[in-house]
Amino acid sequence: MKVLVVGGGGREHAICWKLAQSPKVTELYCAPGNGGIAQVATCVPIKATDVAGMVQWAKENAMDFVMVAPDDPLALGMVDALEAAGIPAFGPRANAAIIEASKAFSKELMKKYRIPTAKYETFTDLNRALAYIRTQGAPIVVKADGLALGKGVVVASSVEEAETAVREMMEDKKFGESGSTVVIEECMVGPEVTVLAFCDGEHLIPMLSSQDHKRAFDGNQGPNTGGMGAFCPSPNYTPEVAEQCMKEIFLPTVAALRAEGRPFRGVIYFGLMLTKDGPKVVEYNARFGDPETQPILSMLDTDLMDIFQSCVDGTLDKVAVKWKPGAACCLVLASGGYPVKYQSGYPISGVAEAEKLGAVVFHAGTKQKDSGEILTAGGRVLGVTALGASLNEAIERAYAAAKPISFQDMHFRTDIGKI
C-alpha cells in the first residue's frame, strides 16, 4: 500500500516509524514531515493545512490510504475532502472533529448525554460572562471556545484573574474569533490522566493510559508548552478507574456522537481528571496527543496499519490490540527559550549514540540538510523514548540515552515521570 501521513512533528514521526514496520506498507510518505521522518518516509513539501493541495497530491500519486494526524486539517475537513476524492482516510470528518474544535459543542454534548465533566456555562456576551464569574467566585476556569494552540485555557485563582482572561478573549480578541465564545467552568481537582482510543464510529479500543507534562520547567513551573515529556501507562489509572471510564465516559461518548449523526472514526483523546467524585472529562481532542503518542506507539505490539484500516472499515471489533509489558517514557529536548522565544538552525549531535543505548529518538522540530546533517528547526526538537520493565526503569533509560545528545541552548525537564 502507498500511505501518506499528514503532519510533521514528533507524533507524526512515531506514527511513521510504526507504520514503516507494517508489511502492508510498501511506500510511505509524509507531508510536510521533518528531518527524522525523512529517515523512514519520503517527505512531501505540502503544508498540513493545505487541504486542496494535499488531496490533489494524494490523487496524482495514487495514495491507497491517508492518515491525518493534526487537529487543524481535521477541523478544516481534510478527511471529508479525501473521501470525496475516493481516498480512504483515517481521522474524523469535520462534523466529528468538532469535539476538539469547539469546546462549547463538546460541553453541550456531555451535558445532553450525561457524561461526567465540570459544571459550566457558555457566553457570547462579555458582561454576562463577568457577572457569572462574580457569582461563582474563584478558583474558576475560563476557556476560549475554538482552537487556540492549547493556550486558550486559564485556571484562575482569583476573580480578577478570571475577569482579565475573559476580557482578553472577548474584548481584545487575544485568540481571534476562537475567543468570541467563552466557556466558564468549575475548577476540578485531582490527578490528570490521558486515554487515547481507537474508534471506528461504533466500537472503541482504549490505548495504554498516559500522562504528559505541559509546563516548561521542573516542578510544573513556567509557561504551558505543547508537552515536555510523557509516559505510559499511568499508575493512577487502575483497572477499577479504567472500567468506570469505559462505562461512564468512553462508550457513552462514541454512542453520543453516533446518535448525533457524527460518527467518530479515528483517535479520540480523553483528557481526564480523577476527582473525588469519580473520573471526569477535562477535554476531548480529535487526534493522537503529542508527545503521548511517542511512548504509547513504542509499546504497541500490533500492526498499526491493520488498526487504522479497521477504524476506517468499521471492523475494529475484529482486531486484537496488544501492548508490550512494562512502561515507556519520552523525554522532550527543547530549544532554550521555548515556548516563548528561541533560535533554530543549530546542529544536533549524539542521536546515533542515544539510539545505541536502546532509545528511539523521535524528531519534532528538525530539518535535514542536503549533506545529511540534522539541524534544530522548532521549539520541541527531539523526543528520546525508552522502554523499561517498570516506569522507573523507562525513565532512567530515557535520561541515560539523552546524555550524549547536544545542541546549542538545549533545554529539558529533569522530572519527567516523577511528578
Q: Give the nearer residue to ligand GLY in terms of CB position, either 185 or 290.
A: 290
Q: Does residue 195 bind ligand AMP (CB under 6 A)?
A: no
Contacts with ligand AMP in 253-272 (CB under 6 A)? Answer: 271
Task: Report the residue from 54, 94, 98, 188 that binds ligand AMP according to the rule CB under 6 A.
Answer: 188
Residues that bind ligand GLY (CB under 6 A): 150, 212, 227, 285, 289-290, 292
Q: Does residue 82 bind ligand AMP (CB under 6 A)?
A: no
Partner interacting with residue 289 (select from ligand AMP, ligand GLY, none; CB below 5-8 Å by kind) = ligand GLY
With residue 38 as reference, give the H or E element that holds it: none
Closest contact distance (angstroms) between CB of 126 and ligand AMP is 21
Helix (H, G, I), strand (E, B) or coil at 188: coil
Q: Closest by alpha carbon to 269, among 175, 150, 418?
A: 150
Closest contact distance (angstroms) between CB of 213 and ligand GLY is 9
Q: Does residue 40 bind ligand AMP (CB under 6 A)?
A: no
Closest contact distance (angstroms) between CB of 9 and ligand AMP is 18
Closest contact distance (angstroms) between CB of 255 and ligand GLY is 24
Partner interacting with residue 141 (select from ligand AMP, ligand GLY, none; CB below 5-8 Å by kind) = ligand AMP
Q: Does residue 185 bind ligand AMP (CB under 6 A)?
A: yes
List for the chain the helix, strand, coil content (%; round to 5): 35, 30, 35
Q: In Å, what is the CA distance from 300 to each residue of 95, 267, 379?
A: 29, 15, 27
Q: Give the nearer residue to ligand AMP in terms of CB position, either 34 or 209.
A: 209
Task: Report the residue from 20, 147, 187, 400 that binds ligand AMP according to the rule CB under 6 A.
Answer: 187
Three cell numbers written together for 338 = 521555548
Q: Does residue 145 bind ligand AMP (CB under 6 A)?
A: no
Three cell numbers written together for 328 = 515507556
Q: What span, in angstroms and rounded, lies between the C-alpha atoms of 199 and 3?
A: 20
Helix (H, G, I), strand (E, B) or coil at 339: coil
Partner interacting with residue 227 (select from ligand AMP, ligand GLY, none; CB below 5-8 Å by kind) = ligand GLY
Q: Give the nearer residue to ligand AMP in terms of CB position, either 73 or 146.
A: 146
Closest contact distance (angstroms) between CB of 175 and ligand AMP is 12
Question: Which residues, including other chains, have CB under 8 Å from residue 200's CB and lie 6 or more apart?
Answer: 265, 310, 311, 312, 313, 314, 315, 316, 317
**Interface size with ligand AMP, residues (CB under 6 A):** 13
Q: In Å, what is the CA distance from 218 to each residue of 212, 215, 340?
A: 13, 8, 16
Phi first, then psi: give them for residue 296, nearest 5 degrees. Answer: -65, -50
Q: What span, in angstroms and rounded, lies between the C-alpha atoms of 35 and 20?
A: 16
